[in-house]
Structure 1
Amino acid sequence: MQIQLNTDNNITGSPELLSRIQKVIDHELRHHAASITRVEAHINDTNSAKKGEQDKRCMLEARIAGMKPLSVEHRADTVSLAVSGAASQLARLVDTTLGKANGSEKGGVSIRHLSQNEQEE
């Protein structure tokens, strides 16, 4: 899974920042790493040089082969919290999306079509 980092003029995109982001995303998406080809991380400071609450924004976009890109956004007081929140949201969205693609809403096999006797076995 390739991870691409994009930052605005107010946040410096460094190898250290990319490494921290990669660790968080790899951890959150480890179960679906084989399905995801690329994750783009867009990090920006919405208030520029001014101080403010929840002014760091992380938008993550996951590319899954054969599907439309999935994207989430999270705002927080720090870049780390914004990335962590967005990665957690993206993991849930990927779980749901891949579960639906495999024919099950929650990712498991449905037993609704089975009779009561078959369900108890």
Structure 2
Amino acid sequence: MQIQVNTGHNIEMQKDRAAEISGVVESSLSHYSDHITRVEIHLSDENSDKKEGYEDMRCMLEARLKGSQPIAVKHQAESLDLAISGAADKLVRLLESTIGRRREQQRRRADPDPSEPDQELAKEL
């Protein structure tokens, strides 16, 4: 799973801080790493011109799943750390439902149609 950190023009990001953020997101999504090819982290300060504001830090996470369209979530909070952890929590819940739905659809496709006669039983008769 590749993780890419993108920041708005008003957020300075050191390499070690970007690695720390990547580690937090990777840890949160580790259970689903087999399903994810790439995660993009977009960080921004919504009220950068005002210097302070309530819930002005924004984190948007976009996960690219194998064999399907990307999914995305966003979370705004008072700090980048809170925005990142909030978005990661939302993404985990979305992955749970998305992957669960996909598994259920695959299971239904694999189950035999009860209205059709059983092929093995028909061979025995």
Q: Taking structure 1 as the reference length, what is the TM-score of the superposition? A: 0.82
Detail structure 1 runs of 4+ shifted over 4 Å in the superposition: none
1:1-121 alignment, distance < 5 Å: 1-50=1-50, 51-103=52-104
Contact 2:40-2:62 within 8 A present in 1 as well: yes
Give RMSD over aligned pairs.
1.4
- Counterpart secondary structure, 1:28: helix
Measure, in 1, the Cα distance between the counterparts of 2:4 and 2:22: 9
Measure, in 1, the Cα distance between the counterparts of 2:15 and 2:49: 22
Contact 1:5-1:42 within 8 A present in 2 as well: yes
- Counterpart secondary structure, 1:4: strand
What's the % identity of the aligned pairs? 45
Per-residue CA distance 1:73-102 (angstroms, 9 max, x = gap): 000000011001000100110111000000
Count matched residues: 105
Measure, in 2, the Cα distance between the counterparts of 1:13 and 1:39: 18
List gaps (5 residues or longer) in structure 2: 106-125
Q: Taking structure 2 as the reference length, what is the TM-score of the superposition? A: 0.79
